[in-house]
Structure 1
Protein backbone atom coordinates (compact mmCIF):
# COMPACT_ATOMS: atom_id res chain seq x y z
CA UNK A 1 0.00 0.00 0.00
CA UNK A 2 1.38 3.38 -1.01
CA UNK A 3 -0.35 6.72 -0.46
CA UNK A 4 0.81 9.92 -2.15
CA UNK A 5 -0.38 13.48 -1.62
CA UNK A 6 0.64 15.65 -4.58
CA UNK A 7 2.08 19.00 -3.54
CA UNK A 8 0.32 22.08 -4.92
CA UNK A 9 -1.63 20.05 -7.48
CA UNK A 10 -3.83 22.92 -8.68
CA UNK A 11 -0.85 25.25 -9.03
CA UNK A 12 1.01 22.85 -11.33
CA UNK A 13 -1.72 22.91 -14.00
CA UNK A 14 -1.04 25.75 -16.46
CA UNK A 15 -3.77 27.87 -17.99
CA UNK A 16 -3.80 28.57 -21.70
CA UNK A 17 -2.24 32.02 -22.31
CA UNK A 18 -5.41 33.28 -24.01
CA UNK A 19 -7.43 32.37 -20.87
CA UNK A 20 -5.37 34.15 -18.21
CA UNK A 21 -7.41 37.35 -18.64
CA UNK A 22 -10.46 35.40 -17.45
CA UNK A 23 -8.68 34.76 -14.17
CA UNK A 24 -7.66 38.34 -13.44
CA UNK A 25 -8.28 40.27 -10.25
CA UNK A 26 -7.49 43.76 -9.01
CA UNK A 27 -6.06 44.81 -5.66
CA UNK A 28 -7.04 48.31 -4.67
CA UNK A 29 -4.30 50.64 -3.54
CA UNK A 30 -4.37 51.74 0.08
CA UNK A 31 -5.88 55.22 0.38
CA UNK A 32 -5.38 55.75 -3.37
CA UNK A 33 -1.68 56.38 -2.70
CA UNK A 34 -0.69 54.47 -5.83
CA UNK A 35 -2.44 52.89 -8.82
CA UNK A 36 -4.51 49.74 -8.38
CA UNK A 37 -2.66 46.54 -9.26
CA UNK A 38 -4.09 43.96 -11.62
CA UNK A 39 -2.94 40.35 -11.53
CA UNK A 40 -3.70 37.32 -13.71
CA UNK A 41 -3.46 33.69 -12.72
CA UNK A 42 -1.23 31.66 -15.04
CA UNK A 43 -1.98 28.36 -13.26
CA UNK A 44 -5.26 26.79 -12.20
CA UNK A 45 -6.55 28.68 -9.15
CA UNK A 46 -8.26 27.01 -6.23
CA UNK A 47 -11.83 28.07 -5.66
CA UNK A 48 -12.87 28.20 -9.31
CA UNK A 49 -15.99 26.14 -10.01
CA UNK A 50 -14.27 23.81 -12.50
CA UNK A 51 -10.85 23.56 -10.83
CA UNK A 52 -11.56 20.24 -9.06
CA UNK A 53 -12.74 18.65 -12.31
CA UNK A 54 -9.67 19.91 -14.16
CA UNK A 55 -7.42 18.57 -11.39
CA UNK A 56 -9.09 15.15 -11.55
CA UNK A 57 -8.64 15.01 -15.34
CA UNK A 58 -4.97 15.99 -15.23
CA UNK A 59 -4.12 13.48 -12.50
CA UNK A 60 -6.04 10.71 -14.31
CA UNK A 61 -4.13 11.49 -17.51
CA UNK A 62 -0.80 11.43 -15.66
CA UNK A 63 -1.65 8.05 -14.07
CA UNK A 64 -2.59 6.37 -17.37
CA UNK A 65 0.97 5.11 -18.13
CA UNK A 66 1.21 3.55 -14.65
CA UNK A 67 -2.15 1.83 -15.09
CA UNK A 68 -0.94 0.41 -18.41
CA UNK A 69 2.46 -0.65 -17.06
CA UNK A 70 1.08 -2.27 -13.87
CA UNK A 71 -2.35 -3.72 -14.78
CA UNK A 72 -2.80 -5.60 -11.49
CA UNK A 73 -2.14 -2.44 -9.47
CA UNK A 74 -5.22 -0.83 -7.90
CA UNK A 75 -5.08 2.95 -8.20
CA UNK A 76 -7.61 5.28 -6.58
CA UNK A 77 -7.23 9.00 -6.84
CA UNK A 78 -9.23 11.92 -5.57
CA UNK A 79 -7.88 15.35 -6.43
CA UNK A 80 -4.27 15.31 -5.28
CA UNK A 81 -4.46 12.16 -3.14
CA UNK A 82 -3.46 8.87 -4.76
CA UNK A 83 -3.65 5.39 -3.26
CA UNK A 84 -1.75 2.50 -4.82
CA UNK A 85 -2.55 -1.06 -3.70
CA UNK A 86 -1.36 -4.39 -5.03
CA UNK A 87 -2.01 -8.02 -4.13
CA UNK A 88 1.75 -8.57 -3.76
CA UNK A 89 4.58 -6.20 -2.83
CA UNK A 90 6.29 -4.49 -5.73
CA UNK A 91 10.03 -4.12 -6.00
CA UNK A 92 11.73 -0.92 -4.73
CA UNK A 93 12.10 0.30 -8.33
CA UNK A 94 8.30 0.56 -8.48
CA UNK A 95 8.31 3.22 -5.75
CA UNK A 96 11.05 5.06 -7.62
CA UNK A 97 9.00 4.90 -10.84
CA UNK A 98 5.86 6.21 -9.10
CA UNK A 99 7.75 8.99 -7.35
CA UNK A 100 9.33 10.16 -10.61
Structure 2
Protein backbone atom coordinates (compact mmCIF):
# COMPACT_ATOMS: atom_id res chain seq x y z
CA UNK A 1 0.00 0.00 0.00
CA UNK A 2 3.03 2.26 -0.08
CA UNK A 3 2.35 5.30 -2.18
CA UNK A 4 -1.40 4.77 -2.53
CA UNK A 5 -4.10 6.93 -1.04
CA UNK A 6 -5.91 5.83 2.07
CA UNK A 7 -9.28 6.61 0.48
CA UNK A 8 -8.49 4.41 -2.51
CA UNK A 9 -7.44 1.57 -0.22
CA UNK A 10 -10.64 1.87 1.81
CA UNK A 11 -12.84 1.89 -1.30
CA UNK A 12 -10.98 -1.12 -2.68
CA UNK A 13 -11.37 -2.97 0.61
CA UNK A 14 -15.08 -2.21 0.78
CA UNK A 15 -15.52 -3.36 -2.83
CA UNK A 16 -13.77 -6.63 -1.98
CA UNK A 17 -16.03 -7.16 1.04
CA UNK A 18 -19.11 -6.40 -1.04
CA UNK A 19 -17.98 -8.92 -3.65
CA UNK A 20 -17.57 -11.51 -0.92
CA UNK A 21 -20.92 -10.95 0.79
CA UNK A 22 -23.30 -10.05 -2.05
CA UNK A 23 -22.56 -12.81 -4.58
CA UNK A 24 -25.02 -15.57 -3.66
CA UNK A 25 -25.45 -17.62 -6.83
CA UNK A 26 -26.23 -21.30 -6.29
CA UNK A 27 -23.23 -22.71 -8.19
CA UNK A 28 -19.54 -21.92 -8.07
CA UNK A 29 -19.59 -21.23 -11.81
CA UNK A 30 -22.47 -18.78 -11.34
CA UNK A 31 -20.64 -17.08 -8.50
CA UNK A 32 -17.52 -16.73 -10.64
CA UNK A 33 -19.54 -15.24 -13.50
CA UNK A 34 -21.32 -12.77 -11.21
CA UNK A 35 -18.01 -11.79 -9.61
CA UNK A 36 -16.57 -11.16 -13.08
CA UNK A 37 -19.53 -8.86 -13.83
CA UNK A 38 -19.08 -6.73 -10.69
CA UNK A 39 -16.60 -4.30 -12.33
CA UNK A 40 -19.04 -3.88 -15.22
CA UNK A 41 -21.61 -2.61 -12.70
CA UNK A 42 -19.22 -0.82 -10.36
CA UNK A 43 -16.76 1.09 -12.53
CA UNK A 44 -19.28 3.19 -14.51
CA UNK A 45 -21.09 4.07 -11.30
CA UNK A 46 -17.82 4.96 -9.56
CA UNK A 47 -16.82 7.11 -12.53
CA UNK A 48 -20.18 8.90 -12.53
CA UNK A 49 -19.98 9.53 -8.79
CA UNK A 50 -16.49 10.99 -9.10
CA UNK A 51 -17.34 13.10 -12.15
CA UNK A 52 -20.51 14.51 -10.58
CA UNK A 53 -19.02 15.20 -7.16
CA UNK A 54 -19.13 18.99 -7.60
CA UNK A 55 -22.61 19.04 -9.18
CA UNK A 56 -25.01 18.26 -6.32
CA UNK A 57 -28.26 18.19 -8.29
CA UNK A 58 -26.89 15.98 -11.06
CA UNK A 59 -25.16 13.78 -8.48
CA UNK A 60 -28.36 13.31 -6.49
CA UNK A 61 -30.44 12.56 -9.58
CA UNK A 62 -27.84 10.03 -10.71
CA UNK A 63 -27.89 8.48 -7.25
CA UNK A 64 -31.66 8.07 -7.47
CA UNK A 65 -31.27 6.49 -10.91
CA UNK A 66 -28.67 4.05 -9.54
CA UNK A 67 -30.98 3.14 -6.65
CA UNK A 68 -33.87 2.58 -9.05
CA UNK A 69 -31.73 0.48 -11.39
CA UNK A 70 -30.46 -1.54 -8.44
CA UNK A 71 -33.97 -2.31 -7.26
CA UNK A 72 -35.08 -3.14 -10.81
CA UNK A 73 -32.09 -5.48 -11.27
CA UNK A 74 -33.49 -7.74 -8.55
CA UNK A 75 -35.89 -9.15 -11.12
CA UNK A 76 -32.96 -11.17 -12.52
CA UNK A 77 -32.54 -13.16 -9.33
CA UNK A 78 -29.41 -13.44 -7.20
CA UNK A 79 -27.13 -12.14 -9.96
CA UNK A 80 -29.20 -9.01 -10.52
CA UNK A 81 -29.47 -8.47 -6.78
CA UNK A 82 -25.69 -8.74 -6.36
CA UNK A 83 -24.97 -6.36 -9.22
CA UNK A 84 -27.60 -3.88 -8.02
CA UNK A 85 -26.29 -3.84 -4.45
CA UNK A 86 -22.70 -3.53 -5.69
CA UNK A 87 -23.57 -0.61 -7.98
CA UNK A 88 -25.50 1.16 -5.22
CA UNK A 89 -22.80 0.72 -2.61
CA UNK A 90 -20.07 1.77 -5.04
CA UNK A 91 -21.89 5.04 -5.71
CA UNK A 92 -22.69 5.49 -2.03
CA UNK A 93 -19.11 5.11 -0.80
CA UNK A 94 -17.71 7.31 -3.56
TM-score (norm 1): 0.30
Greater fraction of residues in strand: 1
TM-score (norm 2): 0.32
Greater fraction of residues in helix: 2
Rg bigger for which structure?
A: 1
The answer to which structure, 1 or 2, has the higher relative contact order (CA under 8 A, 6+ apart) is 2
